[in-house]
Amino acid sequence: MSLNDSDFAAVLAGYADWLGYCHRERAPLWVERFRMNEEELSRFRAAATPQGPTYVAEPVRIEAPEAQLAPAPASGLTAQEALVRAQAQPHLNAFTYLPERLAPPADGYLRGVPFAVKDLIGVAGMPRTGGSASSDASPFAADAAAVAAMKRQGGVAMGLANLHELALGANSANPVFGRVLNPLSPERIPGGSSGGSAAAVAAGIVDVALATDTGGSIRIPAACCGVVGFKPSYDAVSREGVIDVAASLDHVGPIGRTVMDCARSFAALTGLPAFPGLSERPLRGLRVARLGGFFDAPLDTHVRAAMQHGAQVLTDDGARVFDSVVSGMDLAPAIQYITVSTEAAAAHSERLRDCGEKLGEDVRVRLEMAQFLPGHWYLKAQRLRRMLVEQIMAQFEQADMLLCPVMRALAPNVGDADVLIDGYRYPLHTAVSNLTLPFSLSGLPAISLPWGLESGGAAISLQIVGAPGRDWEVLRVAHRLERLQAELLPLATAKLS
């Protein structure tokens, strides 16, 4: 028997008092937030608890890149030019901080290349706030490992990119630094949580930006803004100096103008002494599983057309594309929900207790409601996660790559609380993250690749996913598709309109 809202609120208020979090007046907000995810929670409650070990997120060895053709050069945009461009576009709200002066670059294959840094990642001398008034705004003492790696190859950190507060949301409507504007489609959200990173690239301010991804926060904003977003294998890039969201899910990676921009940054982020470039050879013999079932319905008609066109381009280039289904995928959103909520609550328990009133309302209520999730649910979620990841990994017994959309529909409009997709209504965060979160749960390398525009100018993207450690193969396949798509762009755009 389910409780009505008033009885449910009374139960939560009493439990909050017992926990010592004496804000019982907020109980109706907690109930509203729980109701938003009621479908996932009901499915999770009904699922049997499996026996056996829990899932453990572990880094994998990244397979070395092949020796490739000479890489394409960077665009030649200087750090000072990037800074001027950022200062000239304050309406984007793409940045939380821009320095007055930029440090000279070191020698390396990124020499002079400007990059934006999501304000969740520490940069020496800049305030790492996570986009939150609850943070210490003092200059950060030392570069995060990812920033230091970029700088060692000559990259120049030119500013901190805006984000959804503490990376706990999908629309990048930041309560402190303003709502990030989508440069490609201003009436649509830029995605989140790395909205500022994607906007800075889409607006031509930088060719690459560092971002983080817990359930899609690199790939979703890249798809919304029509740029490339690469989530590497779990812990391929160090998270040292990055504010935690959910430690077993968090990834650091690049958002770029092109796949080559992402690849060049990934080489630096993983400490390669030289950039190997990316081959443009045909994809003959590549086995690609086009994911159906959970990944195929519902889909917006434009997204479905893009998937069909992308599969045809792969086939025409010599790949073997076949349909496949991952069993048990319907539980993925619930597993993600329990995992993120519990781990984020642990990461920010003191922040919530000591200065919860400084948090934006949506983030505060997410952290508050996580206090009410039973502890054994987290254990159950990690056992279910292990089983789900085993099912995903089984795909690679017959496939080299997986193909699916990034999102079920186009980027939602600004202000939308939910999204209607082919007759199904989803809360906004569910609508945009449904198809990305399985590959954060599994820690697999995945890339969001722009694939044409619908007639109103909104971007559509494909998602390419590789086996653990096959990051460079994902980049190679995406680069080849990017080149083919550029040749076919007029046809692709016509097909998707």
Collapsing DSSP to helix, strand or coil, 481 comes out as helix
Does residue 44 carry a pLDDT above 60? yes
Q: Give residue 272's pLDDT band: very low, low, confident or very high (50, 70, 90).
A: very high
What is the token pair recorded at 334? 């619930």
Question: 65 falls in which pLDDT band (50, 70, 90)?
Answer: confident
Confidence category of residue 489, pLDDT binned at 50, 70, 90: low
193 catalytic per annotation: yes
What is the model's pLDDT at position 494? 40
Q: What is the pLDDT of residues 186-210, one digit of tens each?
A: 999 999 999 999 999 999 999 999 9
Closest CA to 361 of 8, 11, 30, 135: 30
Of the listed 193, 440, 448, 461, which one is catalytic? 193
Q: Is the pLDDT of residue 487 over 90?
A: no
Query: 358 an active-site residue?
Result: no
Separation CA 256–CA 237 (nearest Å): 16
Distance, CA of 59 to CA of 459 (rounded, Å) = 32
The yes-or-no verdict on residue 282 having pLDDT over 50 is yes
Residue 71 has pLDDT above 70, yes or no: no
What is the Cβ-side half-sphere exposure of residue 45, based on CA atoms within 13 angstroms? 9
Block residue for tokens 């479905």: 304
**pLDDT-based confidence at residue 69 (cuts at 50, 70, 90):** low
Tens digits of per-residue pLDDT, 147-179? 999 999 999 999 999 999 999 999 999 999 999
Ramachandran region of residue 467, left (φ > 0), alpha (ψ -120 to 50) or beta?
beta
The count of other CB atoms within 10 Å of the CB of residue 407 is 29
6 is catalytic: no
- Examine the pLDDT at 212 and tell me if it is beyond 90: yes
Q: Three-state SS for 237?
A: coil
Q: What percent of the chain clears pLDDT 70, i.e. is strictly above it?
A: 96
Q: Which whole number is the average pLDDT over 479-492?
A: 77
Q: What is the pLDDT confidence band of residue 477, given thresholds at 50, 70 and 90?
A: very high
In this predicted structure, the answer to whether residue 144 has a pLDDT above a threshold of 50 is: yes
Has domain 79-329+384-496 been given CATH number 3.90.1300.10? yes
Gyration radius of the chain over CA positions: 21
> Would you state the pLDDT for residue 76?
84
Place 495 in a pLDDT band, splitting at 50, 70 and 90.
very low
CA dist 367 and 305 (Å) reads 38
First-last CA distance in the chain? 47
Q: Cis peptide before 298, with omega less than 30 degrees from 0? A: yes
The pLDDT of residue 70? 58
Residue type for position 32: E
- 258 with 482: CB under 8 angstroms? yes
* 149 contacts 116 by C-beta, under 8 angstroms: no
73: pLDDT strictly greater than 90 = no
Give the distance from CA 286 to its chain's centroid.
26
**Predicted pLDDT at 66:** 78
pLDDT score, position 74: 73
Query: Distance (Å, rounded) from C-alpha 310 to C-alpha 333?
Result: 26
149 contact partners, CB below 8 Å, separation of at least 6: 237, 238, 268, 269, 270, 271
Quote the mean pLDDT of the chain.
94
Confidence band (pLDDT; 50, 70, 90) for 486?
A: confident
Q: Where are the domains of the chain?
A: 79-329+384-496
- Residue 67 has a pLDDT of 64
Q: Which residues neighbour 86 within 8 Å (Cβ) at sequence distance 6 or greater?
A: 94, 95, 98, 158, 159, 200, 205
Q: Which of 217, 341, 433, 440 is catalytic?
A: 217
On the question of pLDDT at 492 being above 60, the answer is no
Name the band, by pLDDT with cuts 50, 70 and 90, for residue 496.
very low
Tens digit of pLDDT for each residue in 30-40? 999 999 888 88
Distance separating alpha carbons of residues 218 and 211, to the nearest angstrom: 6
Closest CA to 215 of 385, 398, 35: 385
Whole-angstrom Cα distance, residue 50 to residue 388? 11
Under 8 Å CB-to-CB from 453, ≥6 apart: which residues? 226, 459, 460, 493, 496
